[in-house]
Structure 1
């Protein structure tokens, strides 16, 4: 692997949906650290998040226009992206223009790429159109009266326009499409897109960060003397996070000393309050520890005190094509895991042989968890296999090499 960028470099103007500066590993690590090793540099364009940009983007430039905290962000972001892109273009003409998970800005990107006479690339990490349609249908079920009908109509219009834009204008004009998983690539190919124009980039981990030997276990007396089971990640009603409480209730019946640690935050205060109410309503206050937001090193400190990691992801169009990070993180830390059978998780479990894959049913999850808690030999085997698998398949240095190879191919052909 080269330690210094080669003399010949490629430049990508990259419009992103997530807040800047980036915090997601598949932007921060993949594009900030790994791509420059192969001479692929990026000019990030997007909106600011809760914090103002700090240090400069190490892999090129960062052009922040507007804020995702603005109430007008969903309407103004295409204009903001255009202004940010104009700033990026002052630096140099890019070798390609790439858009991630944005629809209106995807149309903008295709047009600008055509004007610049450079390839247009789209990066799809989530089926956003289908997410809009789920929200539309939720409103139809939950909202009533004139206000509800007007709200439904607005969301229905957004879903219709988005479907037209992404599947008729954006993706057909992309020279290449990066997707989240092989399942997503297969799903798009059924819609008529050429599988050969797609590259799956599943979620990975930073090998150094998720090296168990470098993680200090957290000092929290509430975990002492308990059989700790972990869920590491975001909670939300759309993710059916209350399923975790059903599993905890089942575990309590057989092994009362179990403690489910949910190390993560919710997207809103309302969702966090919902989860806390659910915990109390089920009488699980002594069996579930909901930490809320934690610094990453602290969250990992809780993780390494766990005996089993849980990764339940609801089945359906939105999540079946996803590539969840948490299962890979558990394996990297040597935590035996129980995951349900969405395609990417089933693939990881089958290849790694470091966990158990079961349907997303409370009794099945509880039974698999108890199997690992009661069988120290099996748990030890899984704990040994996980890190080795991740190091050979799902670290960002490996993923970065594959992505860089793809860019060199599609941008020089």
Structure 2
């Protein structure tokens, strides 16, 4: 007998019958993808810690690292201590550094595990940044700490830099200094203001094309120090335009959680191989990891139709999770992890579990089921019923 549940809809409660779908299979051990794919991974809060959750941070380290081990087992890399981990929205720099340390330690026991770690300036409050030198010192402090652990860097966009910079030349100065010192090639990080309003005008301009020219000039000045750039603008045409202007060997890591499937598949156009498709560094890969892994395995085998068939139903789910206000997408990511049994509670750092409505969660549940991403349907229904009961709704 199929499972069903009463879920809120625009017209009140409606009975929803779950689909009967086989779970995605993990790739064989040692399987190779032909795209580099990082999942920006979430953290699992410690709900038993005696803290003020809006003001302080407590992490369940065992559950957090277990989730990373799951991602590695699926063939995905981990982009550590990024915005998906609530960096700048509850996760402070000391806790981020401890997260990076623990993740790097765990990765050493997993052959082929990829980890790249977020390096920013978030320990410097934007209002305390008085000039460009303050921003450079803040970046250098985090660089030294992460590289001292043996970590590779994702140079995150800086709220402090966005506040004090007076134009493109200030961005060029900061990135020239940082890239000149990097021990290994880094991934640059361009996060649009839909993800973080404090980053409006990044690279020195509100005009995306002008900002892109500055970013490309920075990369062109240091092509040997840039592994790639992740852009999260939710505009596939802008990403493709920038991708086709990258120097040879510099990767485009899509951060487009609306159009990732077609960007990863690529269009086969462009003079250089790195111009024809995007690699991935995506928050949505945390929530859709089994589907992402299965799809990437099909793509590596040349089965483009199967790749598209697997990912197509995940796109509406992703667009819902990342709907405006986009910065609250982390709530949907953690909700998915709870539904699927990868953590035993739905509590978040900073109390962010309250950032979305019950209607939002109900639609997320339907879309996750439609994409085949409810890994244990009975458990998912039970946990959805728990959430409904907390809101005074009987889903039975």
* TM-score interval, smaller chain: 0.3 to 0.5
TM-score norm. by structure 2 comes to 0.36
Question: In terms of Rg, which structure is larger?
Answer: 1
TM-score, with length taken from structure 1: 0.34
**Higher RCO (Cα < 8 Å, 6 or more apart):** 2
